[in-house]
Amino acid sequence: MARIELWNGDICELEVDAIVNAANTSLWMSTGVGGALKRAGGDAIEFAAVRQSPVPLGGAIVTPAGTLAARIVIHAVSLDRDRRTSAAAIEGAVRSAMARARENDVTSIAIPALGTGVGGFPLEEAAAITVRSVREELRRSPRIEHIVFALRGAGPYEAFAAALRESVEPADTLTPSSVQVGLPALPGGGDA
């Protein structure tokens, strides 16, 4: 069973095989997670992404990760041209990102809260969609050993912690090796 972890901090600092970027259909990386990845990993990430555009809503493409500690960036398209999103777009983007992870022999992946920044999608609903989709995709992804939900701030962290608690199936056993809370944790955080 894959280990699922919550991380409150900068996604760019994580040492994982793949980092998911919350992308738009044109794949320009100017704001949010994309902007942070470009600043930390270099313009080459954006250049490689834009060469593959446009990508339909719910799709995902892969680029090298520049100078980031990750091996690749998976650009999951959860925003349309007007930077709006929907539940279907977020679910499609998460599932496409997981498919690209399988195709690229990824064993560890960091996923942000897609569509909740400039996309304006409700955080709790996005967290529930993302957690459910990841858990379902993990059944088809035996090589993936570690999922990190990379979040910034108390709101996203708590929304994903609640979604993880609510997604537990009766047969699941949550142990320190299957769900962990990443450091630095928020005050009053605790295990999800």
CA 158 – CA 61 distance, rounded (Å): 29
| pLDDT at 181 exceeding the cut of 60 | no
Average pLDDT for 161-171: 80
In this structure, are residues 28 and 81 in contact, taking their beta carbons and an 8 Å threshold?
A: no
**Assigned token pair, 91:** 């679910």
What pLDDT is stored for residue 168 in this prediction? 77
Residue 105 has pLDDT above 90, yes or no: yes
With 50 as the cut, is the pLDDT of residue 46 above it? Answer: yes
80-104: average pLDDT: 95
Best CA proximity match to 131, nearest among 109, 111, 116, 155: 111
**Domain, as residue range, for 42:** 3-173
Do the domain assignments include residue 183?
A: no
Binning pLDDT at 50, 70 and 90, where does residue 35 land?
A: very high
| Residue 180, in any domain of the structure | no
pLDDT digits (tens, 9 = 90+) for 135-148: 999 999 999 999 99
pLDDT of 25 > 80? The answer is yes
Residue 70 per-residue DSSP state:
S
Quick check: is 191 in a domain?
no
* Among the ranges given (34-43, 76-85, 120-129, 154-163), the one the predictor scored with the smallest mean pLDDT: 76-85
Look at residue 179 and tell me if it is in a domain. no
Residues 82 and 140: their CA atoms lie apart, in Å, by 33
Whether 86 has a pLDDT exceeding 60, the answer reads yes
Cα separation, 128 vs 149, whole angstroms: 12
Cis peptide before 54 (omega within 30 of 0): yes
Of 98, 101, 100, 131, the C-alpha closest to 113 is 131
pLDDT at 176 over 50: no
65 in any annotated domain: yes
Count of domains forming the chain: 1
Q: Output the domain CATH number for residue 122.
A: 3.40.220.10
Task: Assess contact for 125 and 156: CB atoms under 8 A.
Answer: no
Asked whether the whole model's pTM tops 0.95, one would answer no
- Whether 12 and 37 have beta carbons less than 8 Å apart is answered as yes
| Domain annotation covers residue 9 | yes
Task: Find the helix or strand (DSSP H, E) in which 94 lies.
Answer: helix 87-103
Structure tokens at 28: 């320009």
Q: What pLDDT does 101 receive?
A: 98
